[in-house]
Structure 1
Amino acid sequence: MKSFIRDTYMIQDPGWVNSINRYICIHGHFYQPPRENPWLEEIEIEESAFPFHDWNERVTNECYAPNAASRILGSERRIIDIVNNYSRISFNFGPTLLSWLKNHNQEVYQAILQADKDSQQIFSGHGSAIAQIYNHLIMPLANSRDKKTEILWGVKDFIYRFGRMPEGMWLSETAVDNETLDLLALHGIRFTILAPHQARRIRKIGEETWSDVTKETLDIGRPYLCILPSGRTIAIFFYEPGIAGEVAFGNLLENGDQFTRRLIEAFPRDSHRPHLVSIATDGETYGHHHRFADMALAYALHEIESKNLAKITIYGEYLERFPPVYEVAIAENTSWSCSHGVKRWEDDCGCRALYACLISDTSVCYPASFTSGSSPYNLKPWNQKWRRPLRDAISWLINELAVLFEREMEVFFHDPWQIRDAYGDIIIHRTYEEISRFFTSYAKRTPNPEEITRCLKLLEMQKNALFMQTSCGWFFDDLAGIETVQIMMYACRAMQLARDVTGMNFEPEFIRYLEKGFSNLAHLGNGGDIYTKYVKTAIFDINRLAFQFAIMSLIEGRPDESPVSLYEICCKSYEQAETGSLKLAMGHALFRSKSTLKESTLMFIALHMGDHNFVGGVRTYSSENDFEEIKEDIWNAFTKSDLPGMILSLDRHFDVHSYSLWHLFPDGKRKVMYSILNEALESAQYAYHQLCHRHFPFVTAMKELNIPSPIALDFPIQYTLNRELIACLDEDIIHIERIQRILDDMNRGNFLPDTKLLSVHAAHTIARLLSGIEKEPDQIEDIILVNKLFSLLSPMSLSMDLWACQNTYFRIGQHMCHTMKQTMETGDDHAQTWIREYSLLGEYLGVRCH
């Protein structure tokens, strides 16, 4: 672990330190590209994120969660404080990322929202959170309508989550033009944050003469007022690029002392006016890009405040205290990550990523050395000439979909684009009540259910038209990158919805545009090839969803009515049977899309023929008589174990939509395969158990006599003892004596523990026990139990993730330690024992008892 220990920082010249006019603001831009499959609105498994399901989950574990409970270490390298970094910095979270966090990690999500509330108590009523345009498109490259919608949706999302109007708004890649700033001001945004090179000239407010500036000559220690052509105004802060670069790409965060020192030394020594040192970087810098950097951040914030080196502030508070006295004119069509303005998102400008994440047969991450002018195989220089054809394809499609949208929506609404702006409320909080209010409020007349579905499809089409402009699609180094394929998926979904509503097929022309761009890996071909191979195969229609439902019901032995969050499933009939190695499930169900309210009643069948061999079918449900006739035909063949007859019946009745295991969603395939594998594992585990308990005494005796034992017996015994130990840890009631016996058996025979699995299960067990202690902290016996468990497990040197355990321990200590220490002073034996055992537990966890 890196050095973030308190009580070691020394100012070189304490005589000049005066914090009265020194202010520090650290901004984190927390964002992940939207990764949801547009047809499911769920993220499918991403192998490159192993051991996590996907990159959102991985980055949450490495960055978002640690910053919500960051550690400060004392001189003994034990945790002496746990703090929520978000409450002490300025930050923005991408709305699509917050939506994912709300659904997948409520603890972190709530910690982020709470941080904003807490920060208002710290920063004179100003919250630390600012908004972000909705889905990270490059604003100067967007048309006026799209800019407006992105801002409005971003503001709506912020208000929904944080319960207040945002003061500031982050522009993706800080890409800016005057129209964007004017729209921000129009919608109540008071400030934004830019890089110094994005300022063109300045003048004192009220004066006429302008002075040209560069990133070197601009005074970044103050806010500026930007007076826009409309007469509206917005404040602009310019971050310190040198420190920001060292934080993001250097080693500044490897040591908490040097991070603190670097921030303080950025202040001019001879300044007598208020001076702001602010830095802005990707929030993922603090933990994901640099491990433990959240602790460097927590350390620096504490060190600066506790030693009165400067005042920690946020932009809203600073703006209220020190309004701009200078005006700025921006350099339009510029950004923080492209030295050519905004060319990175439309042309081969030479700006490249540090890593090229490509799709081939598997996802591969090639290091920077491979992409700085050469391919991974050093065959030919890489280029990004594909960016222009991709931009042209997206721009063409935006215009075509806009014409269609206006024409179709004018039938139901007075202003289609106002309706798209208002649709943000439904995207953020999709409920039937919200949809009903939406049409009641805006429609010219009350539409029927089919018309509502038609309108919702058109609105979803426009949502995907915005998402297909997400900047990440152009940022990286190849046309086949996972982010680029993702925006093609949004385009595909938008075109599919347009086709559903009007019958117009934009796809052939879109592919012709894509065919003008080529991957740097020759075998991947052009954009059309990539679209066909990676986008078309990702499409999931309602029939594949129904087959997924059938297979999962068959595997789990009951109807599973929620395999996909975007759909509601109401099972109308379901029967399951088994004969020999054959398993059959059949029924019909209502499938309703939550996004378009389209309903489909489908008949389904799934047949398991053993191992990984599945077949099935889906068709529209027409009538009860038709369903019963088909069921009788298939059931007759099944009861006779007539497999050929069943296949023929399935082909006859489900000739249009016949499916196999390969048609399942990626996560569904895994779930099915692991379910089948578990049956084989249970059989192997039983055999191993028998071998272990029959031959353990003999094999142990061989080892005690220094006689080599056969691997054929060693492995089953070792495997069984590890499984028994894991089973003990997973039990509701922990039996220390039984765990001790298993460990003694392992030591006697020198059997190796499965440290990887044991680490996971032991950490979960300790977290569970601590949660129980938190509910009843007076129960000394529970604390003693955890200590005994630690003492047994310690000799194995497990690599347990005790992050959640440390958080719980810290909360208990905040609540109990002071009270117990006061009681202990009166001679209370219970309190003395509690403090002794709780302190011992803190030693195991690396946390100092309060």
Structure 2
Amino acid sequence: MTAKPQDGWRGVCLHGHFYQPPRENPWLNAVPREPSADPDHDWNRRITNECYRPNAAARIMDHENRILALRNNYEWLSFDFGPTLMAWLERQDPWVMQRLLEADRRSAKRLGGWGNALAQAYHHIILPLANRRDKETQIAWGIAEFRHRYGRNPDGLWLPETAVDHETLAVLADAGIRFTILAPHQAARWRFMEGESTVWRDVRDGSIPYGRAYRYRCTNGKWLYLFFYNDKIARGIAFERLLEHSSWLLAALRGAFADSQALPGEPWLVHAATDGESYGHHFKFGDMALAAAFDVLEKDSTTEVVNYAAFLDRFPVRAEVEIVSETAWSCAHGVGRWRMDCGCHSGAHPDWHQKWREPLREALDTVRDALALHFEKEAATKLRDPWAARNDYIHILLKGAAEKESFFQRHQIKPLEPEDRRQVLELMEMQREAMAMYTSCGWFFDDVSGVETQIILAHACRAMELARLTGASPLEDIFLKVLEKAPSNLPEIGHGANVYNRLVVPKRVSPGIVCAGAAMEALALKRPSRKRLHVFVFRPLLERFLCEYPMPCQVGIMDVEDERTERTTRCAYAAVLLGGLDVRVSVKPVKDETAFDPLVQNLQSSAVEGVASLLRCVDEMPEAEAYSLKDVPEDVRMGIAYKLAEDHLDFYTEFQKRFFNAHQSLLWSLREWGIPLPADIKDSVRRIVERQILDVLEPVLTEEDTSEAHFRENGAEGTFRRQTFLGRLEFLHRSLASWGVPQDLPEVHRALTKAVRTELRRILKARGIALEKLCLLVDIAQALRMGFKDWWIPTLWWDLSRGLHQEHLGADQRSCLRTLDALSSCTFLS
């Protein structure tokens, strides 16, 4: 970059704000399938695939689209990840989380101890609209989560939507946070603290110079530092295609230096805060443009890529600022987007109103305040300081059941009985849900029936349920009365109360429902009952397979425990399989095991009388709820459906194979004489050949290393076995062409790709160079004319190739690994 002669130090800092609303079903703590996210299971998974993961291994490409190197963008990007998103990544994609932690460590090493990661308020609540207690808890939880993940205290904290008021900044300062980031229009006025230009300058028009840090005096007398990002660059990244090519992004950064308001010799930081989803989700290959830009900047001796904490550490703050309270980066009307029909919307439905926002907030505020009174009343009899205990509850969320004992030791007035302990845990969960119901996305979009609004209403539903379980009067009537004032833009929906009753209440999951799911699975799949389903733990007490005829029937009693609250429900169940996917279960709560023998006797008597009698006995079980497969949690339902369907499909495949073997000579003659085979016959041939290839590959594709005995002998015998094995595969593959059928083998490709991924991970974990099986898999891919388009293989191969000492490898190994380079479109090896 060309520097002005009078300029001093130059730095660049791009910040990515990465966040998803907590999408988990509040009863299961698991994310359900979201059809709008197809082809992925849900939006967390889709955006991980398109953004979070690619930025952890962004491709640097040559002019022939070969991968030259991979870059962890998070090592160079200032970033914050939502705590609830991090909890999901820990369970579902720990590789991404490890890359984030590694990036923070590496950036700290590069920048004198100052890592790139920032904390975030826990539930992405619009803090200016929260009460003081919720502000304190959200910030305390965000800091505790950060410390748990990164092993250090955060220097900065991202405010959700950069929404700010004076009280929020004071809470940040009280919590030990040094700085936060705001949009330029959130500054009211600024001045230098020393020198001749100490006059205040009004910048409500967004004209505050962005390249320096500003000191802000909080209402509690403490100081906090504020950075106001370059809105032009942020807008260009978000809306004006700066990520279409790295040169465009670099040009914008160069232009920002040229237009800076830096004083002679003043260090100047070009920085912008952006939605992290811009880098790959909103803009495909945005992660690659960012990586290429960082690659150029790393080599630029005139400019340094830094983060905010490092900048504060190096250069004294010379200016101070006052803010415009109750403002945010994504609303031109202060924080109206989250409390009124201010005119801000997503743009998808420009003619829709958002009159529903105000009554939605009113309904939630009504519930929040009632829950707070109930919480104080009940918890005060058991805990020294209920609100301090709520702040501390985050450690149970982070560390699990092992932390419960020390939590109670710290906060209980006296040792608690199991029932009192359970009530305290339910009260804490109630408060967690009462904060989760304020997640900002619930107001952000266009209608009260939107997916994100349903999410926050589900948290409200769960919070009110927990209140009832802990002795509170029902709150739903008053809640629904207010929600009726929240009009939908969809006539068929009507208002918010209908959204709640029709779309949210059916998502409730009771102990009886999960018991029914476990019973169906055990009966339909002929296996022992599972031990857990997400947060529910199953303890079978009595279990009996009653009969196979007139239809399969099973009966049992099990304890179902919610491990979060330790509430245990004892359930008796009877399950029957009518055939196909028709499974019926009736479940009722029982106090002890004495209900088991009478239930068995009734079912046995009914079974003797036939199908109708047995089915009626199950469906009409006294004091029981009856369930079918559609009523149980989706992952259980889909698991049963896939397994039962797989058995039928295997039968069909075997039928095709027998038909082909019996008539192969006739089919070949027709082919030789130029008589076209019917399309379904040709498809059968392709599937049969693919199955033959999979059968040949079976000993190699298993995760256990069973290929050694067949292919690794030294000398001529080993070479012969390997050659005949590969020759068999080549023959089968060529036979596809001879039959005139497509040569794509999707099942083989998936299986081989999975095997290569598994082997690469095994080698990396072992930190060794036992490459024999990997080389065999590469030879198989060559024999079958298959390349690897899988994202993971180049990523894992990059990690492995950096640690390989090629001079220690044999000629055959080097040749095979170069082939892997070619099959993966990489240039990692010389």
The TM-score bracket by the shorter chain reads: over 0.9
Shift of residue 318 of structure 1?
0.4
Aligned with 2:104: secondary structure? Answer: helix
Q: Which amino acid aligns with 1:835?
A: R
Q: How far apart in 2 are the matches of 1:409 and 1:214?
A: 46
The counterpart of 1:661, out of the listed 621, 629, 633, is 629
Identity percentage over the alignment? Answer: 34
Q: How far apart in 1 are the matches of 2:748 and 2:550?
A: 35
Within a 5 Å distance, the mapping from 1:128-167 to structure 2 comes to: 128-167=116-155
Asked if 1:419 is matched to 2:389, the reply is: yes
Q: How far apart in 2 are the matches of 1:296 and 1:506?
A: 51
Shift of residue 772 of structure 1?
5.4
Shift of residue 740 of structure 1?
1.8
1:776 and 1:427, CA in 2 relative to 1: closer, same or farther beyond 3 A? closer
Partner of 1:593: 562
Partner of 2:315: 322
Within a 5 Å distance, the mapping from 1:216-365 to structure 2 comes to: 216-268=206-258, 271=262, 272-354=265-347
1:194 and 1:613, CA in 2 relative to 1: closer, same or farther beyond 3 A? same
1:146 and 1:269, CA in 2 relative to 1: closer, same or farther beyond 3 A? closer
Q: Quick check: 1:601–1:621 contact (8 Å CA) kept in 2?
A: yes
Q: How far apart in 2 are the matches of 1:768 and 1:53?
A: 22
Aligned with 1:130: secondary structure? Answer: strand
Partner of 2:819: 840
1:263 and 1:484, CA in 2 relative to 1: closer, same or farther beyond 3 A? same
* TM-score, length basis structure 2: 0.92
Q: Quick check: 1:702–1:709 contact (8 Å CA) kept in 2?
A: yes
1:731 and 1:59, CA in 2 relative to 1: closer, same or farther beyond 3 A? farther
Asked if 1:202 is matched to 2:202, the reply is: no
Partner of 1:88: 76
Within a 5 Å distance, the mapping from 1:758-773 to structure 2 comes to: 758-771=748-761
Shift of residue 692 of structure 1?
2.1
Partner of 2:429: 460
Partner of 2:493: 524
Q: Deviations over 1:300-345 (max 9, x none)?
A: 1111111324100000000111132110001110000001110001
Give ranges in structure 1 of 5+ residues lacking alignment.
1-10, 355-367, 374-381, 824-829
Q: How far apart in 1 are the matches of 2:634 and 2:457?
A: 19
Q: How far apart in 1 are the matches of 2:726 and 2:4?
A: 60
Within a 5 Å distance, the mapping from 1:300-699 to structure 2 comes to: 300-354=293-347, 368=348, 371-373=349-351, 382-431=352-401, 433-580=402-549, 582-638=551-607, 640=608, 642-651=610-619, 653-699=621-667
Asked if 1:785 is matched to 2:769, the reply is: no
Q: Quick check: 2:193–2:318 contact (8 Å CA) kept in 1?
A: yes
Q: How far apart in 1 are the matches of 2:529 and 2:105?
A: 39
Partner of 1:104: 92
Shift of residue 87 of structure 1?
1.6
1:192 and 1:730, CA in 2 relative to 1: closer, same or farther beyond 3 A? farther
Q: Which amino acid aligns with 1:840?
A: T
Aligned with 2:742: secondary structure? Answer: coil
Q: Which amino acid aligns with 1:108?
A: V
Aligned with 1:626: secondary structure? Answer: helix
Q: How far apart in 2 are the matches of 1:714 and 1:172?
A: 57
Aligned with 2:579: secondary structure? Answer: coil
Q: How far apart in 1 are the matches of 2:472 and 2:18?
A: 40
Asked if 1:742 is matched to 2:752, the reply is: no
Q: How far apart in 2 are the matches of 1:581 and 1:48?
A: 42
Q: Deviations over 1:820-843 (max 9, x none)?
A: 24x6xxxxxx64444333223212
Q: Which amino acid aligns with 1:298?
A: A
Q: Which amino acid aligns with 2:389?
A: I
Q: Which amino acid aligns with 2:574?
A: I
Q: Deviations over 1:690-739 (max 9, x none)?
A: 12222334323323322122334333223322344455556535853333
Q: Which amino acid aligns with 1:791?
A: Q
Asked if 1:71 is matched to 2:59, the reply is: yes
Q: How far apart in 2 are the matches of 1:513 and 1:757?
A: 54
Cα RMSD after superposing both structures: 2.3
Q: How far apart in 2 are the matches of 1:812 and 1:635?
A: 61
Larger mean Cα displacement after TM superposition, 66-75 or 748-757:
748-757
1:837 and 1:667, CA in 2 relative to 1: closer, same or farther beyond 3 A? closer
Q: Which amino acid aligns with 1:642?
A: G
Aligned with 2:474: secondary structure? Answer: coil
Shift of residue 267 of structure 1?
0.5
Q: Quick check: 1:20–1:311 contact (8 Å CA) kept in 2?
A: no
1:203 and 1:771, CA in 2 relative to 1: closer, same or farther beyond 3 A? closer
Shift of residue 621 of structure 1?
3.3
Shift of residue 401 of structure 1?
1.2
Aligned with 1:569: secondary structure? Answer: strand
Aligned with 1:25: secondary structure? Answer: strand
Asked if 1:820 is matched to 2:803, the reply is: no
Aligned with 2:26: secondary structure? Answer: coil
* TM-score, length basis structure 1: 0.90
1:730 and 1:140, CA in 2 relative to 1: closer, same or farther beyond 3 A? farther
Q: Deviations over 1:279-316 (max 9, x none)?
A: 11111111111122111111111111113241000000
1:699 and 1:772, CA in 2 relative to 1: closer, same or farther beyond 3 A? farther
1:656 and 1:625, CA in 2 relative to 1: closer, same or farther beyond 3 A? closer
Aligned with 1:383: secondary structure? Answer: coil
Q: Quick check: 1:700–1:748 contact (8 Å CA) kept in 2?
A: no
Shift of residue 770 of structure 1?
3.6
Partner of 1:707: 675
Aligned with 1:490: secondary structure? Answer: helix
Q: Quick check: 2:576–2:615 contact (8 Å CA) kept in 1?
A: no
Q: Quick check: 2:374–2:472 contact (8 Å CA) kept in 1?
A: no
1:59 and 1:624, CA in 2 relative to 1: closer, same or farther beyond 3 A? same
Shift of residue 352 of structure 1?
0.9
Partner of 1:365: none
Q: Quick check: 2:80–2:118 contact (8 Å CA) kept in 1?
A: yes
Within a 5 Å distance, the mapping from 1:3-152 to structure 2 comes to: 21-152=9-140
Q: How far apart in 2 are the matches of 1:294 and 1:768?
A: 26
Larger mean Cα displacement after TM superposition, 247-256 or 322-331:
247-256
Q: How far apart in 1 are the matches of 2:419 and 2:274?
A: 47
Q: How far apart in 1 are the matches of 2:609 and 2:7?
A: 85
Q: How far apart in 1 are the matches of 2:385 and 2:132?
A: 15
Shift of residue 577 of structure 1?
5.0
Q: Quick check: 1:113–1:161 contact (8 Å CA) kept in 2?
A: yes
Q: Deviations over 1:389-446 (max 9, x none)?
A: 1111111111111111112222122322122111121122221x32122122111122
Larger mean Cα displacement after TM superposition, 403-412 or 209-218:
209-218
Aligned with 2:148: secondary structure? Answer: helix
Q: Quick check: 1:769–1:786 contact (8 Å CA) kept in 2?
A: no
Give ranges in structure 2 of 5+ residues lacking alignment.
702-706, 708-724
